[in-house]
Amino acid sequence: MSSTSETNALEVRGLRRSFGAVRAVDDVSFVLPEGGSLGIVGESGSGKSTTARIVVGLEQADAGEVLVRGRARTGRARGRAARLARAREIQMVFQDPYLSLDPRTGVEAALRETLSLHFPGRDPARRIRELLDQVGLGSRAADALPRQLSGGQRQRVAIARALAVEPAVLVLDEAVAALDVSVQAQILNLLADVREQTGVGYLFITHDLGVVRCVTDEIVVMRHGAVVEQGGTAEVLAAPRHPYTRLLLDSVPRPGWDPQAIAAARRALQGCPAPGPATAGSSGTPQLGQL
């Protein structure tokens, strides 16, 4: 175990995952420092969600490594104790919290269940109050069922439940995609505050470049299962080196936006293999014809 590994919350090395003839994840590597925030972006089918599922242990990799604080976590956790230990290291917040919350269980009861499972013998009452305050719900929501809450409130509950075990890494898979724009901003501000307070590391999975611009330090761009560009978020978005990254940026509607030009650029990319990753600061910019 290297000293570098010990300073990183998460390391992913050479992940590969195929489904039949389709290579969903193709030699993906990245590093999330302790307390850092990294975004994986790409369109549907780019492999970003499969990568996230491998990281949290919901999918098995065909090859590669996942390390959490320097400890190997690639294989399936065997036994109850191993599964609980892994869950305390990495938690995931999904796009639709209604599907991940028990509709028959109130907010306080859901948090109590999580805390009792991971920290038996402790009185969870104080921690429940802290969590509700931390995500901006307070005691007023303690007895509410999921159906009695708004989408934004349900996502706050999901975040509180994930934070209850004090993980090193919180994986957020399109966690604000289903919310109204104003509610998205509230949740992103909440996540920024939580990160500052707790030092938890974030792995954002999203198609929304606005989200990664707001809340991440580093960005990984995926296409056809492979990393095509990575680097500092501000640097990559200001001066993308890969044509696919430029296409993603150009596809965001704005004044003067030309959808026909975007469609033409997309056609030029169709069916072309993804090259090796462009790294911020590297020399040379691949052209459309090189894809």
In the chain, how many H helices and how many E strands?
Answer: 12, 11
Q: Which amino acid is at 191?
A: L
Domains recognised in the chain with CATH numbers: 3-290 (3.40.50.300)
CA angle 29, 35, 40 (to 5 degrees): 35
Q: Please give the Cα distance from 259 to 253 (Å, whole number).
A: 8
E-assigned strand segments in the chain: 8-19, 22-33, 37-41, 63-68, 71-72, 90-93, 169-173, 201-206, 218-223, 226-232, 278-279
Does residue 84 contact residue 45 with C-beta atoms inside 8 Å?
A: no
Q: pTM of the predicted model, to two decimals?
A: 0.85
E-assigned strand segments in 126-249: 169-173, 201-206, 218-223, 226-232
Buried b (16+ CB within 10 A) or exposed e, 148-168: ebebbbbbbbbbbbbbbbebb
Does residue 123 contact residue 111 with C-beta atoms inside 8 Å?
A: no
Report residue 229 as tokens. 């560009």
Q: What is the pLDDT of residue 123?
A: 87
pLDDT by residue, tens only, the chain of 291 residues = 444 556 899 999 999 999 999 999 999 999 999 999 999 999 889 999 999 999 999 999 999 999 999 998 887 777 788 888 888 899 999 988 878 899 999 999 999 999 999 998 888 999 999 999 999 998 888 999 999 999 999 999 999 999 999 999 999 999 888 888 889 999 999 999 999 999 999 999 998 898 999 999 999 999 999 999 999 999 999 999 999 999 898 877 666 666 666 666 666 676 555 545 655 544 343 333 333
